[in-house]
Every structure is written in structure tokens, then in C-alpha cells.
Copies of this chain bind each other. A is one copy, B any other.
């Protein structure tokens, strides 16, 4: 449904502000797609005196993924939970992230080892919250309700929900089709029912997939596309949420 695509774009969008230091951590151990999407395939992690160095896309955007530790991008990481958890711990403890303003964590689907471990390992840092990605289809919303349930159970705040693949405008006749139809009212109705923010809806645009495959930022490749303006709004809302959240914390302390 586009979790990694959104994580990559969120990182690129936040790093557009050169005053902010952004880190993108890919904990999808068995299906890491962040290196390809960020144009970093074939990069290796370097060991420095202070630990593993992230791979930098820009001076203010560092990335870490198991993809950088494999000898070939087709290699499968055939690991059960405990080994995956061990690597996630290493990513947090042994990587020299430096001073960062944002840490974006891209997770695999589900509510299992990776999700429990990252929340547990970061519990001391007060995570700002989770952004949840869905398509308009009920089968996808059903997974999202489980993820919201997960967030409640582990006391992880929810920044909001992004509805991805919200409609497709035919490039020839401009007719809009619902390719993943919202048979139960889509993310909008679900968010109302569950009292969660809907951060925005992003239309399907074939250029998004092309940019991902080429490791380019869709936001700068297609600055005029309706999908880009939707992404930019969503990123802006996430920034605002985090700013308020930090301000709040400072007040509390």
C-alpha cells in the first residue's frame, strides 16, 4: 500500500529544510526497499570509530537499512524474529546518527516483532507518533484498524492516517477511476469513526512508481502533480504535529 514510498518521500520532504537533520531507518529486514527508492542501491555501510555510519543522500539526510549490509540486492535475509530484533537494536545503538531533528522509521506490515521491538527500544525517547498508510479498500482498512489497535495497546500516539492510491486520473481523457474502491467509505469514514486524523489523500500517479524504481524523489521530479501537492500538505501537517509535540514536551519538562 506504499509504506516505504511514503517514508522515502517524507524523509526527502523534511530534508528540504536544510536546517533540519533527518534520519531514515528501514526496519523491514526481509523486504528492504528504502535503498532502491532513495537511489542508494549498492552503497555500503562504513564503520567508523563511533560506530556504523549511515549512508548520506544529502548532508542532512542519512539512511540505514539492512539492504546496505547485503552482498547482492537479491539476497534474502531469512531470519526469524529474534535475529531481526537484534539487528534493529544494533541500528539504534551502534549507528552514529549524530544530532538529528527527525528519525523516520519505515516498518514492514503487521503488528509483530519489528513493531514491538522498535517501540520498546525507543520507549525512553518519547516517540512523536505513528503515521499509518492505507488504500481506500476495506481489506486495507481492516489491517489499519489492527494497527491503530496496536498503537493504543503500546501507548504510541497516532499522528494520522494517509489514504494512498485514492483515485486515478486517466492521462488521455482525464476521467477519474477508483482503482481500489472505497466500498466502506474509505479512510475518511474510518478516521471519523475511530477519532483519528486523516492527514490527506494521495491520488495514484504512475510517475510515483517510476521515480521509486529510479531512486529519484517524486516531489522534485513532478513538482506540479496533484499527488505532489497532496504529499506536501501531508508532510506539512506532520511537521506541525511534531513541532507542537516538542513544544508541549518542553513545557511539561
Contact = CB atoms under 8 A, between A and B. Distances in A.
Category for how many chain A residues contact B? 35 or more
Interface of A: 4, 29-31, 33, 36-37, 73-82, 84, 108-113, 115-116, 137-139, 142-143, 145-150, 153-154, 168, 170-173, 175, 177-181, 183-184, 204, 206, 209-210, 212-214
Contacts of A178: 206
A109 B171 contact: no
A110 B31 contact: yes
Contact of A76 (B31, B76, B149, B181): B149
Nearest to A67: B142
Contacts of A149: 74-76
A4 B139 contact: yes
B153 A181 contact: no
A184 B145 CA distance: 35
A179 B214 CA distance: 15
Contact of A142 (B73, B108, B138): B73
A81 B81 contact: yes
Contact of A30 (B112, B168, B171): B112
A180 to B, nearest CB: 5
28 contacts: A30-B109, A30-B110, A30-B112, A36-B142, A37-B139, A73-B145, A74-B146, A74-B148, A75-B146, A75-B149, A76-B150, A78-B112, A78-B116, A78-B154, A79-B112, A81-B112, A113-B113, A137-B213, A139-B209, A168-B168, A168-B177, A170-B170, A170-B175, A170-B177, A171-B177, A178-B206, A183-B213, A184-B213
B206 A30 contact: no
A153 B78 contact: yes
